[in-house]
Amino acid sequence: MAGTIVATDTPAAGGRKPPGRAGWLLLAPLLAWLACFVVAPTAILFAYSFCQRDELGFVVWEFSWENYARIADPVYLKIFGRSLWYAGLTTVLCLLIGYPVAYYIARAPASRRPTLLMLLMIPFWISFLLRTYAWISLLKADGLVSATLEMLHLIPEPLEILYKPAAVLIGLVYTYLPFMILPIYTSAEKIENSLIEASMNLGAGPWRTLAHVILPLTKPGIFAGVLLVFVPSIGMFAVNDLMGGGKVDMIGNVIQNQFGQARDWPFGAALGITFLALFVISFWFLHDRGEVKRT
């Protein structure tokens, strides 16, 4: 998905001509990869979602709508709602924190940019699980954060934040922040200084320049960043399990449970397909609106 987003937002040189024979040849590995690892598994999942589960938890190939009917249960709708809420909050926080960072890096002298970008990428060389465990030891009641704040007399008693929703939010924002910064950086880097100077010369203050020049020009980056953060964070389950103490269930946890403990693959598949459908619909919706406005 990430690839499509970026591709559709940076207008391809020479318009939308269908690729020639050489083009198809070059595309072939990608298409084969997509067919094997995206289309085929999704098709299998789709087929499973209409199956049933037998007494012993094995998949029975008998057609049924039941799995989709079960999703409409308030229990699962509530969790869908919560996942949207957390993912939305994560996206907003990532945007608020990430935009200034991305802009700063983009406007920094060209010689310093690689270093700054490198600093952003270095944490990715460490396993995601290790980084999450590091957060656990930072945030726990006798951890570094709590102890420091206590020493500075900023809080009266140990900070009880781990295994609470706030910890999940911290984990999500931390995990996805770079996915917001990088696309915004890419579009902010392309802004010509002369445009900003022109805006200033014509009497717009810094705020009006931001609102009427910089923000509109970085819109493709913001759009890509929002999708790159929102989409994966809605399905996250590891951060919620580890930093939320298993108490802040999101839709990812429910799906994981169906393929694990509950041994109800068809229902898990139905949840997954519904989830996917929601993404595709919301992507089209956002994308169409973006297109209309730009032309």
Residues engaged in binding another protein (CB under 8 A) = 53, 55-58, 73, 75-76, 78-79, 82, 140-142, 162-163, 241, 245-249, 254, 257-264, 267
User: Which residue, among 233, 212, 194, 190, has the nearest Cα to 84 in the 3D structure?
Assistant: 233
The CB-of-53 to another protein minimum distance in angstroms stands at 7
Nearer to another protein, 160 or 288 (CB): 160
DSSP H or E stretch at residue 128: helix 128-139
Q: Which amino acid is at 277?
A: A
Nearer to another protein, 262 or 286 (CB): 262
Nearer to another protein, 98 or 252 (CB): 252
The CB-of-126 to another protein minimum distance in angstroms stands at 20
The CB-of-223 to another protein minimum distance in angstroms stands at 32
Nearer to another protein, 191 or 238 (CB): 238
The CB-of-267 to another protein minimum distance in angstroms stands at 7
The CB-of-160 to another protein minimum distance in angstroms stands at 8
β-strand partners of 53: 59
User: Which residue, among 294, 290, 293, 292, has the nearest Cα to 5 in the 3D structure?
Assistant: 290
Q: Which residues of 96-111 are buried (b: 16+ CB within 10 A; e: fewer)?
A: eebbebbbebbeeeee
Contact 201, 160 (CB under 8 A): no
Contact 91, 230 (CB under 8 A): yes
Q: What CA–CA distance (Å, rounded) separates 90 from 177?
A: 9
Biggest CA-to-CA distance, the chain: 75
Distances 100 to 13, 182, 183, 212, 292 between C-alpha atoms, Å: 30, 12, 13, 16, 27
Distances 124 to 121, 134, 154, 169 between C-alpha atoms, Å: 6, 14, 32, 19
Nearer to another protein, 123 or 158 (CB): 158
Rg (CA), the chain: 23
Nearer to another protein, 76 or 275 (CB): 76
Nearer to another protein, 132 or 257 (CB): 257
The CB-of-151 to another protein minimum distance in angstroms stands at 18
The CB-of-79 to another protein minimum distance in angstroms stands at 6
The CB-of-292 to another protein minimum distance in angstroms stands at 38
Nearer to another protein, 25 or 141 (CB): 141
